[in-house]
């Protein structure tokens, strides 16, 4: 499938590149006529075809397109080497895609003259990281001549989330990350097993390559196509919905499963007097499904907990969240002062959200059965309740009504 996508991406770029050459050779014309032709010949045709027919394969198509550009433009390839050498000196590399390395299959390899990988490139839009990413890639690179680099490329808006996740996975595997720095377009760390981990965005990478191919019209055209695809793949772009997506019964089944998890966790937390539901209600809106509750018998602070689609989409951590609103109900400022240091020590994700609220992830244990997941969430709620005991009790207010 991926090889077929690679051939398709290359053919599309080749054909569209021929058409888009017209764009760069057009004489100056009145704005209206030029704009009309630009709509036909600009860098949106490739992205339109991909979004229309292959929207679920954005990452694979973008990878093949980038490999095509690096393989067919010496200026682009030299530009890529210049960018990588800004991190650490590298020999001349050739780039190829979807090569298996042990049990891993990075999106792209950069290989030296002996055919040995020195760079892996993992391209992301909005899909989550697999279990192999990034640790198995780093370990595979560690077996080769150093220095080596694992490059992770993602949307500009996702850089902080990706950086947090990859570093969490390093910690989980006791791989020490040191010497964090900014090297050109990359945010980098040196890992204790050898390779360098480097993160950048599609925009930064393609902008840097574009500046290196100013005299290569073909490469400029191809980069314009890829830039358009990256813009079209934005998570807020509302791509066309496929019949496979609307008929995939696993999606509603998973949402219902998440609902049963948080409901069961609340039920057990109430019996253990961790949560108090007196005077509270269920609450659902377009962006979330859950309920209000208090912590403990003293009802020191109120929260909302459940499936929060907006936070899930933005941070990609978990579908389940605890939200402390500002004001007398949620006491977000006081809660934040207590929970932020605790969350940092426990490596639990916490952040500010809309209207001064404070939110905390309720992580789901991967690969576990429902009862184990529920138990983990109850334990997390108990830990939060124990920290919030330090809050001075206030007369309880009614839960929000929205």
DSSP 156: G
Provide the pLDDT for residue 170.
Answer: 96
78 compared with 30, residue with greater pLDDT: 78
The answer to whether residues 329 and 399 touch, using CB atoms and an 8 Å cutoff, is: yes
C-alpha to C-alpha distance for 49 and 55, rounded to whole angstroms: 9
Structure tokens at 388: 């919030």
Q: How, if at all, do strands 288-295 and 275-276 pair? A: antiparallel
Is residue 170 within 8 Å of 133, Cβ to Cβ? no
pLDDT, mean of residues 106-126: 94
The C-alpha angle 235, 237, 243, rounded to 5 degrees, equals: 90
- Percentage above 90 pLDDT, the chain: 65
Check pLDDT > 80 for residue 101.
no
What does the pLDDT read at residue 43?
42
Q: What end-to-end distance do the CA atoms of the chain give, in Å?
A: 47
Tokens read off for 247: 């008929």
Is pLDDT above 50 for 26?
A: no
CB 74 within 8 A of CB 209: no
Question: What is the pLDDT, as a whole number, of residue 45?
Answer: 53
Distance CA 141, CA 134 (A): 11
pLDDT at 356 over 60: yes
Residue 210 pLDDT:
94
pLDDT digits (tens, 9 = 90+) for 51-68: 555 556 788 889 999 999
pTM here is: 0.70
pLDDT for 23 equals 39
Q: How confident is the model at residue 4 (pLDDT cuts 50, 70, 90)?
A: low
Q: 245-277, pLDDT tens digit by residue? A: 889 999 999 999 999 999 999 999 999 999 999
Between β-strands 358-361 and 186-191, what pairing exists: parallel, antiparallel or unpaired? Answer: unpaired
**Which of the two residues, 25 and 325, has the higher pLDDT score?**
325
Q: Is 231:206 a contact under the CB 8 Å cutoff? A: no
At residue 19, does pLDDT exceed 50? no
299 vs 394: CA distance, rounded Å: 8
The pLDDT value recorded for residue 29 is 40
**What is the distance between the alpha carbons of residues 34 and 40, in angstroms, rounded to a whole number?**
10
Residue 75 has pLDDT above 50, yes or no: yes
Task: Kindly tell me if the per-residue pLDDT of 111 is higher than 60.
Answer: yes
When the pLDDT of each residue in the chain is averaged and rounded to a whole number, the result is 85
Share of the chain above pLDDT 70, in %: 83
Nearest 10 degrees: Cα torsion 257, 263, 268, 274: 130
| Contact call for residues 320 and 313 (beta carbons, < 8 A) | no
Under a CB-based contact definition with an 8 Å cutoff, are residues 125 and 62 in contact?
yes
- Give the tens place of pLDDT for each residue, 185-225: 999 999 999 999 999 999 999 999 999 999 999 999 999 88
- pLDDT above 50 for 24: no
Amino acid 339: pLDDT: 97
CB 93 within 8 A of CB 119: yes
Quick one: pLDDT band at residue 228, thresholds 50, 70, 90?
A: confident
Contact 388/331 with Cβ under 8 angstroms? no
């Amino acid at each position: 499938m991926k090889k077929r996508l690679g051939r398709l991406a290359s053919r599309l770029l080749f054909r569209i590149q021929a058409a888009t050459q017209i764009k760069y050779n057009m004489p100056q014309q009145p704005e209206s006529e030029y704009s009309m032709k630009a709509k036909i010949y600009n860098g949106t045709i490739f992205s339109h075809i991909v979004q229309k027919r292959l929207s679920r394969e954005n990452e694979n198509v973008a990878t093949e397109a980038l490999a095509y550009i690096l393989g067919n433009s010496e200026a682009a390839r030299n530009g890529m080497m210049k960018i990588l050498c800004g991190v650490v000196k590298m020999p001349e590399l050739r780039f190829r895609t979807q090569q298996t390395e042990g049990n891993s299959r990075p999106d792209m390899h950069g290989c030296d003259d002996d055919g040995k990988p020195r760079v892996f490139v993992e391209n992301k839009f909005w899909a989550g990281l697999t279990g192999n990413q990034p640790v198995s890639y780093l370990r595979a690179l560690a077996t080769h001549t150093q220095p080596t680099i694992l490059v992770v490329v993602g949307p500009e808006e996702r850089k902080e989330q990706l950086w947090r996740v990859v570093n969490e996975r390093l910690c989980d595997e006791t791989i020490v990350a040191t010497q964090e720095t900014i090297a050109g377009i990359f945010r980098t760390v040196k890992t204790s097993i050898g390779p360098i981990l480097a993160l950048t965005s599609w925009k930064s990478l393609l902008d840097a390559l574009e500046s290196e191919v100013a005299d290569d019209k073909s490469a400029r055209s191809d980069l314009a196509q890829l830039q358009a695809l990256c813009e079209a793949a934005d998570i807020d772009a509302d791509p066309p919905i496929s019949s496979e997506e609307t008929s995939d019964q696993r999606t509603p089944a998973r949402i219902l499963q998440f609902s049963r998890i948080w409901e069961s966790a609340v039920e057990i937390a109430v019996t253990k007097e961790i949560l108090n539901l007196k005077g509270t209600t269920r609450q659902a809106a377009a962006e979330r499904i859950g309920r209000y509750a208090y912590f403990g018998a003293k009802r020191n602070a109120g929260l909302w907990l459940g499936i929060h689609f907006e936070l899930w989409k933005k941070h990609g951590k978990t579908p389940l969240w605890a939200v402390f609103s500002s004001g007398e109900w949620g006491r977000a400022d006081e809660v934040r002062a207590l929970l932020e240091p605790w969350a940092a020590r426990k490596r639990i994700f916490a952040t500010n959200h809309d209207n001064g609220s404070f939110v905390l992830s309720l992580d789901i244990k991967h690969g576990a059965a429902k009862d184990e997941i529920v138990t983990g969430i109850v334990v997390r709620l108990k830990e939060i309740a124990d920290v919030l005991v330090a809050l001075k009790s206030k007369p309880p207010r009614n839960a929000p009504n929205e």
